[in-house]
Amino acid sequence: MPALKNQSDGKRIFLPILTVSGLQKRFNLEAGFFARFGTFVYAVNDISFTIHENESYGLVGESGCGKTTTARLLVRMYEADSGGIMYRDSTDVLQLKGRELRSYRGKVKYVFQDPARSLNPRKNIYEILTAGSRWSLSWPGKREAREEAAAMLDEVGLSKNDLERRPSEFSGGQRQRISIARGLMMKPELLICDEVVSALDVSIQGQILNLLLDIRQKHSLSFLFIAHDLKVACYFCDRIGVMYRGEFMEEAEAKNLYKSALHPYTRLLFSSVTGNSVSQNLPERYAHDAAIHSSAAGAGCAFASRCPIAEERCFREHPEIREIGNGHRIRCLMI
């Protein structure tokens, strides 16, 4: 559950870390110097959610649904076309520049999916862990920085003796631990974990997830946890937003989502976890590639072409996401 604060009247309120409202990002459908301009892919289309203190919020969906694009918009790796991102209800993230943007990125750190690509193979682990703070105002000096790096490696299950080694000398699970340690070096308030266990063996996945749970408890961290496995997300997260073609289809508490899921897409994701693929649960005419985004935002329901309960109006009317109680939101004309 998210961290709470006592008011003078004894009531407790939720404290938001990051508030996202109406976020949108589109890309030109064609690439290259001579590509036509004007046909767009809406990678993120009107996304709104809030991450609270000490809360783990999950973004779940098939590959290509816009999860990673959303996360990269939050740290300004991509620039949003419209919408808002507020940090602690007082800082407009989209207006930050220079030193203020670097300070924000120190508080909101990104852990990438593939540590083999995100860790510089030419640097040793000490250089990788301290690269973020070396040129910042928080640089403590070489001796203290080395002590902090050694302590952080110990916290993620490695040894101070690993500081002089290079990423290629470690296994995939160990490299992911190094990536997590690098993210923690700046003492962030929010850690964005982008598919951090998807490329690992099942046994290693469990170790990394338990490590993240320990880190969350020790440091009172908030998480944005991106995954395509709904079962893994329900294990780790407090709340989950289910994405499809750049939009939220459903949002609910993770502990109840498996029994309270209403949207056909969420149900299909759960059915795939039990051993049946999504396509096996769909009529043949609905089994399209989920990575194909809508090129015309607002033209009907994004899931209509795959939905087993869709009616004719679902292809004409674009449903708005609405709350149906207890923080449970859904985007569907038929429910």
Calculate the average pLDDT of the chain. Answer: 85
- Tell me, what amino acid is at 201? D
The sign of the torsion formed by the CA atoms of 277, 283, 287, 290 equals negative
Alpha carbon distance 312, 304 (integer Å): 9
94, exposed or middle or buried, with CB in 10 Å at 0-12, 13-18, 19+? Answer: middle
Of 245, 204, 224, the closest CA to residue 50 belongs to 224
Residue ranges of domains in the chain, CATH in brackets:
4-122+166-330 (3.40.50.300)
Alpha carbon distance 265, 248 (integer Å): 11
Under the phi-then-psi rule, with left for phi > 0, alpha for psi from -120 to 50, and beta for the rest, what region is 171?
Answer: beta
Structure tokens at 154: 């110990």
Rounded to 10 deg, the angle between the 125-134 and 172-184 helix axes is 20
The CB density around residue 104, as the number of other CB atoms within 10 Å, is 17
Alpha carbon distance 71, 118 (integer Å): 16
- The residue with tokens 């209403």 is 262
Quote the pTM value: 0.86
What's residue 138's pLDDT?
A: 72
What's residue 114's pLDDT?
A: 85
What's residue 5's pLDDT?
A: 47
What's residue 159's pLDDT?
A: 93
Q: How far is CA 196 from the centre of its chain?
A: 10
Spans in the chain with pLDDT lower than 50: 1-11, 276-297
Alpha carbon distance 83, 216 (integer Å): 29
What's residue 9's pLDDT?
A: 44
What's residue 189's pLDDT?
A: 95
What's residue 30's pLDDT?
A: 67
